[in-house]
Structure 1
Amino acid sequence: MKIMVMDGDGIGPEIVPAGKRCLEAVSEAFQLGLTFEEDQIGLAGIEKYGHACPDEVVERIRAADGAIFGPHDNVSYPPEHQTYANPSGIIRRSLNLYANMRPSKTRPNVPAHVPEMDLVIARENMEGFYADRNMYAGGGEFMANPDLAQSVRNISRARSTDIARAACEFAMQRRKKITIIHKANVMKLTDGLWREACLAVAADYPEIEVEEVILDAFAAHIVRRPADFDVVICSNMYGDIFSDLASELAGGLGLGGSVNASDTDCIAQCAHGSAPDIAGQNIANPTAMIISCAMMLTWLAAKHEKPEFNEAAIALEGALGAQLAEGRTRDLGGDMDCDAFAGAVAERI
């Protein structure tokens, strides 16, 4: 199987090769037959193609079996390259990557802000308040006059159903519980439709326990009782916010793994950003990227019915957990650099 690799901006050229190194190790150990091809996005994409995420790269990802997608620092792009959607928005919309799955869990010997947590934020990825991907033509933000800015929020039954079903399928492989986040007591039409669609899907899974939590109350509950949650279903912006909070509670954004997936495509992409303040110093934590790569293996196992890919994902997660328990990067109180940490995980595999 072919995996496309794109470093991206900031710490991307450090953490993406770390993830690739771990995939190479499990591919050899479990005879997965992974091959890798590289291309450029972000500032390197602008230099090579004249665009931060050109059609050529999108089509190469589409033709591959999976991809490792580095972070982007679009605020640093030249002004003419800030007029279109950022690389994440482009790739998610182009490939219909409607499901953004973001796990957060506490791990032995890893400093955390809560004693126990193991949850997944299932974030709808295609609409909501995100102005770069919720309109067919034109932007989702506009100004009626110099003193009034407005934004359109899209909530559709189809997109809500898609993420709810993906979340339920994920929950069936875990503790069989979902939590639906909404503000339907105030946003009666948009969050009301979201709630209705999610509950309709959940009714198809009688084994799953269903909980509803109002948006602002969840901000308190995830801190007070994080161990009670399994798969948490959120619309786009809510999921973006709560997944960062969950990662921080578990130990930091350096642990924030993530995949963006559809029924046909999957990319491993960290939940965190490009961290330009530490770029080029080899001190970034590659854990989130390694987790993302393991999640992509699980997705490939399900799509292609290849149990060896699932075994490889479990082995990669196990090697990562064992390494975190004994040695970590600086953000987690250790003294290892990015390369050394990735090498140690690969060696354990």
Structure 2
Amino acid sequence: MFVGGGDGPDVGQPGGERRDTAGPETGSPDIGRPRILPYSWIIGQDDARTALELSFIEPRIGGVLISGQRGTAKSTVARSFNLMTTGNLPVTLPINATDDRIVGTLDVPALLEGRWAERESLLEEAGSRKVLYVDEVNLLDDHIVNLLLDVVSTGQLVVAHAATERRVEVSFQLVGTMNPEEGSLRPQLLDRFGLLVEMVTETDIDVRALILERVLEFDQVCRTGPTKAYRLALRADRRRKDQLKGARVMITDGAVVLPDAVRVQCARVAAAIGAVGHRGDVTLARAALAFAARRGADVATAEDIRAVARFVLPHRRGAISRGGSATWSEADDATVSKALGDDG
């Protein structure tokens, strides 16, 4: 369970106010109030945390979709992770955003002054900051989904005003959150998320009590300013960021190897689960390499495949396009084990 609210303002921030807490490089706290809970204060939910870290280590994985009930802190973990790794909250696409805000529009005040100028679009801003966050992504209008699909698939944004048109190269990680009780996500967009994670309500009383303790402690920080424990949390965030950056360098430098036998296992596992197309095979290999780098290894193994399959493959089955579930089960774990050649 992640501490924080998945719907509405972030926990400990009345009215959803967002204030500076760390610089983009040093991560050292300033005298203002925090914008969001430190990443190291997040409790449990290892799957969501792992998926976000893998997508950071290997951006070609293609982003993360976090699905869960309301109040499970889906948005908090996504924003907290982005703040830790970049020093900024992510560029956010509101579900009520207009086309002009998404793809760009003319700067009317500048035009009235006789100057030609354009307002930067949300997608261009996301390209500059490398992440686009979409809360309640399953509630986006179809034409907005089509815009996203076009940009994600082509890497280009077409900005047209009157008789002018320009093409902008944009590339960003797509991070989305949704409550499946409020509707499903179009299969075409679902397939564009490299990893899928399900978040559930914590049922262990001791863990719930610890979550409450962290929430109240963060409330106190928001009221009175940084405490010793809060500053220690920021230091822990900096250490984790450095570890993840080191793993990312390993991937960028080609320092992690995918042996031929493991490559074949990726294809075998994807086929056994029933993945449609080949994107699942490719993403499975990239995620396995990232998982190996995350643990500091220079060779990906079958165990890395086993660790990431439940994030990569559940939303790629043919049944999804027919309204099937993207839930991962113990039977799926058994299928993966059999495909990997485990005895029994």
Q: Which has the higher helix share?
A: 2
Taking structure 1 as the reference length, the TM-score comes to 0.30
Taking structure 2 as the reference length, the TM-score comes to 0.30
Higher gyration radius (CA): 2
